[in-house]
A and B are shown apart, each in its own frame.
Chain A
């Protein structure tokens, strides 16, 4: 159903946005600190739009169905009490088993090269993904995709250029960039493989056909890595599970940091 499809996209944006925001105040250079913080804000803004839509969809479900969507105790308590769910509830009251973000998004920032590699793989995919999703039969998703496409176009430009600068740079930057490209590679397969919910969405007419996008992604990645004098990783074993709620150890720490305030002080506002 489009709720699950939308939530997955929102979770990606939230977790990646959160990870990127960890660089705030710690960027290697002032201008890049601002640049990467802007990117984090772009992702968080997208997460908000998607969670708002997801909340609408959730609240429209028949009551009997609502309690079987999530396993997290906190959000189900809200649902049982009959309270409509909003974007903040979705972001702060679900535990890792209910999050469906890609494993790629929860990887640690590492050094600058590692962050760039993660963003590069993600941006290259989402550039083609949103280009397709803006034609979705679902008007809300199409509109969010159109706006996201503009942001992603810039993100891809930014991350590609950093891959090239670091790859085709000094010996140290080249080695670090190659290491990062290699380390993040096993998380890219999950992006390119459709799970059941995505197959369903495609069949229903509103989802993106990821099979069409995979070769576009592969070509773009190859092109940039070549220009960066980097070697395309050859591994074929891919880590999976994020899209279905099976996350790495990282997720617990991310949620603990992100959700602590809302859970310790329920309903608090700035």
Chain B
């Protein structure tokens, strides 16, 4: 990550949960001087059109992302391990829609 310009406010990632939703989804990012302002900026920028009823903000520097260059070793081994999926049960009709 490049050195942040000292004159710029920190960057925050914003997650919003919609009224009917169960989880907070990533909505975007914004600059703010502190956590309080980050919540308010998120309210003003990302909930104007009733997109959500709950806001999480996290300073971007605390987000740790996986390295796309390691995708092969991280994810490919899982593709041929069908025994990890719960698909060998006969479900009775009563719970068919599980």
Q: Does A158 contact B (CB under 8 A)?
A: yes
Q: A35-B40, A158-B40, A165-B33 are in contact. Are A29 and B45 (CB under 8 A)?
A: no
> What are the residues of chain A within 8 A of B31 when measuring CB–CB?
29-31
B48 touches A31 (CB 8 A): no
B-side interface residues, number (CB < 8 Å): 13
> What are the residues of chain A within 8 A of B30 when measuring CB–CB?
30-31
Q: Does A38 contact B (CB under 8 A)?
A: yes
* Residues of chain A in range 209-254 having any CB-CB distance to chain B below 8 Å: none
Q: A31-B41, A31-B44, A35-B41 are in contact. Are A161 and B32 (CB under 8 A)?
A: no
A38 touches B36 (CB 8 A): no
Q: Does A34 contact B (CB under 8 A)?
A: yes
B48 touches A38 (CB 8 A): yes
Closest CB in chain B relative to A210 CB, distance in Å: 29
Partner of B45, one of A31, A157, A161, A165: A31
Q: How far is the CA of A158 from the CA of B48 in the complex (A)?
A: 16
B33 touches A31 (CB 8 A): no
Q: How far is the CA of A199 from the CA of B23 in the complex (A)?
A: 52
Q: Which residue of B lies closest to A37 (CB)?
A: B44
Partner of B32, one of A31, A34, A154, A157: A31
What string of 1s and 0s marks CB contacts (under 8 Å) between A34-64 and chain B?
1100100000000000000000000000000
> What are the residues of chain A within 8 A of B9 when measuring CB–CB?
29
Q: Does B74 contact A (CB under 8 A)?
A: no
B44 touches A35 (CB 8 A): yes
* Residues of chain A in range 152-206 having any CB-CB distance to chain B below 8 Å: 154, 157-158, 161, 165
A161 touches B37 (CB 8 A): yes
Q: How far is the CA of A34 from the CA of B49 in the complex (A)?
A: 13
Closest CB in chain A relative to B86 CB, distance in Å: 45
Q: How far is the CA of A34 from the CA of B48 in the complex (A)?
A: 10
Partner of A34, one of B33, B36, B37, B45: B45
Q: How far is the CA of A254 from the CA of B95 in the complex (A)?
A: 68
What string of 1s and 0s marks CB contacts (under 8 Å) between B27-51 and chain A?
0001111001100110111001000
Residues in chain A within 8 A of chain B (CB atoms)? 29-32, 34-35, 38, 154, 157-158, 161, 165
